[in-house]
Structures are given as C-alpha cells and as structure tokens.
Structure 1
Amino acid sequence: MSEEDALKFPPTTSIDLISDATKSSMELIAASGETKVGDMIRVCITMYDHTGHRKTTGGDILKLYMCNQSQWSTRRGTVVDHNNGTYTGEVEAAWSGQSELVARLEYTREAISAMYRMASLEIFHAVFQEGNVSETTVCHPDLHTLRKYFNYTRVCDMTYENSGMHWYCDTKAYTTVSVARRLDNIKDDEDAVVVIHIYIHLLLYHHSIFERKMRMIRTSVASLLQRNKLAQVVILGPHTFDSYAKFPDLDRDLITTTIKLKLKTSASP
C-alpha cells in the first residue's frame, strides 16, 4: 500500500480495530496431487481485528515462511494484499519431509499510517558559529513543516548552499556538506576512489526528500564518470537495525523496504 493510500485512513483511536494475529486465520489452498520439491505452496490468510471481526481493508504487511526446525532451514515466501482483509501467500517447497508454514503480522496498516504522519516532524539541530560565538538552530528540508509545526516566521533558505537540496533553518545560517558538490570538485585527471555511504537520516522525512537527494547524487556520479575515466565510485546503502528510538515498534524491515524502493526509483534516468 502506497503512502497516499495509507493516509486516506483517519488516525486509529482504538486498538480494537487493529488486526490481531492471534485471531486471524491461514488456510492451505489445496493443490492437485502430491507436493514435490520445487512446487509452490499457496495459502489464504484472513485478518480479524482484536474484537474478532473480519477486516475489510488491506494495508497490513504480512510475511510467510516455510520452516524446518530439525534442519535449521527457513524459506521466505511472498504475500499479495487483496485490499479486502484477505491475503494470498506463496512459498516454494525447498526440501522434502515435514515442515511448518508460519505467517507473521509484521506491521498493521494503522502503524504504517502513523509512521508516515510522524516522520515529517523529525528535525536537525544545527550549530552556527562565528568566532567564539555559537548558537543552536533548528533545520528541516521542508519549509512548510518549519512554519506549521514550529511556528517559525523568519527562515533562512540554505538550498543554494546545499547544492540544490532543499534546506531551511530558523534565522541562523547553517550549510550541510553535500555529496553532490564534493563530486563536482574532483578534477578530471584525478585518480580518485569515491565511497558514498548513504545513511538513514533522510528516511525520517517524507520519502520524496530522500529520493530527490538520491537523484542529485546520481546526476553528479554520472557526470564525474563521464569526464574522469580514472575515477571509481562505490555506493553503500543505509544499514538496517533492530529498532529506532522514535519508532520502537517499527523494526528494520519496513525501513529496508523503503530504502530499496527509493534507491531503485532514483537509479532510473
């Protein structure tokens, strides 16, 4: 489910309306004949809320696994959301013998919607220093957020200094070091090895900000490699983690999914 679809739903005020894994069901979709190694096993998953009522909307993130504890083996499948409270899962029978099918409710649609609403409020505290005098100011890549949620009326537009990446600060001027500008400053005949480590910070904002930054880096990398045949560029994606302090109930998988989607989108011309 896209962000736009997630935000169509109003904030949930009761846990009773949220999907409950313990009340939901999974049924095997019978296949004709004997299941052999390499065959696909299909299941139908029906979600129910905490009151035991069947869900009529989709958006939950579910995962399906085939497990064999005696062999310490696990095979992950795929799950299709039908947007009506039911899901179809499919996993390959990777080995013979007795195995167990496990479905896991990774995130409810309500949790995902809440994350999208909260992410734009993440801010940077920047330090502006001149001589022995320094002051701390608040910065954000979205001007509307600074004005709406933090009531700032005097804002410095640092977009130009930030190589075209939108960046606004409360009155004091603060410039972030941009990867794109550093690439542009590499000489045409320099035998350079460039390592770009894309960290997690911008994913805490609206994903369009992360995608815009990636497109800028892509343009600068392409320009560098075109004019400098000696340069080599290595890109490391953001590492994953078990949890994040501001979203303790959201573990690494949802963030990783967003990273992969936006990196793939940004790689296209």
Structure 2
Amino acid sequence: MGISEEEWDRLQKALDWPGPDQEITQLNQSTSPVHSTYSIVGLKESYKVGENISVTITARDHNKNLKRYGGDFFQAKLFNSELKASVYGEVVDHRNGTYSVALLLPWEGQAQVYVRLEHSSEVVQILKKYRESSFPRSHYNGHFEGPGPDKNRISEVVECNLKWGADGSWSKGDCCCEYKDVKTGTVWQCERPKQLSCDNLVHHSRGRFKESLNPLEKQLFTK
C-alpha cells in the first residue's frame, strides 16, 4: 500500500529544515534566546474555550539583529499552573526569522503563553551534520583471548565499532574481523588482532570517545 503524491510532498516539506544562508563564523551571529521576542496577535481581554490564540515569534541574534532565515527550534505552549494543564501549538517557520503559532485554548480560567528556544538554527545544522555523518565517535574495545604461538594463553585488546556504510569504519583493506547479528543484520567490526584469530573474541568494553565538535560548535551549544 503506497501513499499519494500529495502526501509524499507534504512529508518532504515537513522533513525539510531550513538552515543559515551564510557560513556562521562568530558566536554572536547565532539566534539569541534573550533578544528573540514573541507577541500575541490581536490580544483580547478574554477568550472563549475552543478559540485559538495566535502568537508571532521574532528571532534575533546576540547583536539584536533580526534573523533573515529560519530553522530555529522553538516550542510554544499555553499553561495554567493551578490546573496543572498545558497544551503545545505547532510552530510554523516562515523562513525569514519569524514564526507563527496557533494555541488552542481548551479550558476555562487563566492561561499563560510560554515560548522557549530549544536550539538555534545554527545548532540544528550541527546536529544534522553529525547525524548524517558516518564517522564513528564512540569506540569500543574488543578483548581476544586464546593460545599464542608458544601454546601459552595470551590476550589482545583492539578497537571495535559498528560497521558504517559499505566501506566500514576503517578503510584499511582487509583490516578487520566482522561479526554479523543474524536477527538485525548489524555488522560489528574489530581491528584484526596481531596474534590471535577473529574467532578468539570473548567480550567487549567501552573505549575512547572522539570529540567531533570544533571550538565554535562547542560554544554554540552553550550560548
């Protein structure tokens, strides 16, 4: 059973996430949660249950300049602390630094609007880059044990990881031992031990973690 062309186009648009229209070289060019603002469109003294409250979000950078592109991850909700009630609205990205939200009012009584910048568009692009990257960041140790050349029992520890893509994690020709999970099809690779065979793997443990973020990317996550 397939989906219609219209549904396919809708899914593609929903998955498309705009990014910066220029290379970000300075921290202050990223979206600021302090200087970004929101306003209620056509604010009234009272609303009826079932009405929508329209909100406009305006993104600014740390220099208070208006952002020219979208891609920020904002969340917006109505809430009432006494009732312990809240409802989120869909944030529509207009791809020019502004966003609109329609918040449905489902209860009687007070309601407050809350808007939070979860991630700037610059951070979203960093997350996207590393999500789509096949470069492994977490590594593991494979522990091999077995008889050595002189019949004494020896052990070796090598680096292991999941196999990413057709070329694997290590592009060194016949570099690795491979172990395939028959249920999931996942392939696990370990660098080939110098003295023992691939059949001598007994267990694995957590290994090193390679930091992938550059200095600017690290700062963007903390800004």
Normalising by structure 1, what TM-score?
0.53
Gaps in structure 2 of 5+ consecutive residues: 1-13, 147-152, 204-217
User: Whole-Å Cα distance in 2 between the matches of residues 176 and 122 of structure 1?
Assistant: 23
| Residue number in structure 2 paired with 1:180 | none
1:82 correspondence with 2:101: no
User: Identity over aligned residues, as a percent?
Assistant: 22
Change (3 A) 1:99 1:31: closer
Larger Rg over CA atoms = 2
Does the 8 A contact of 1:162 with 1:176 survive in 2? no
Q: Which of these residues, 119, 135, 140, is aligned with residue 157 of structure 2?
A: 135
1:170 correspondence with 2:170: no
| Residue number in structure 1 paired with 2:60 | 48
The DSSP-based 3-state class of the residue aligned with 1:146 is coil
Gaps in structure 1 of 5+ consecutive residues: 178-245, 251-269
Change (3 A) 1:122 1:70: same
Matches within 5 A, 1:187-266: none
| Residue number in structure 1 paired with 2:137 | 122
Q: By how many angstroms is 1:100 displaced?
A: 1.2
Change (3 A) 1:84 1:166: farther
User: Whole-Å Cα distance in 2 between the matches of residues 8 and 130 of structure 1?
Assistant: 54
Q: By how many angstroms is 1:154 displaced?
A: 4.9
Q: By how many angstroms is 1:147 displaced?
A: 4.1
1:79-118 alpha-carbon deviations (Å, 9 max, x no partner) = 1112221111121102222321111001112112223334
Which structure has more relative contact order (CA 8 Å, sep 6+)? It is 2
| Residue number in structure 1 paired with 2:149 | none
Change (3 A) 1:53 1:6: closer
User: Whole-Å Cα distance in 1 between the matches of residues 78 and 47 of structure 2?
Assistant: 14
Does the 8 A contact of 1:58 with 1:85 survive in 2? yes
| Residue number in structure 1 paired with 2:8 | none
Which has the larger share of helix?
1
| Residue number in structure 2 paired with 1:155 | 175
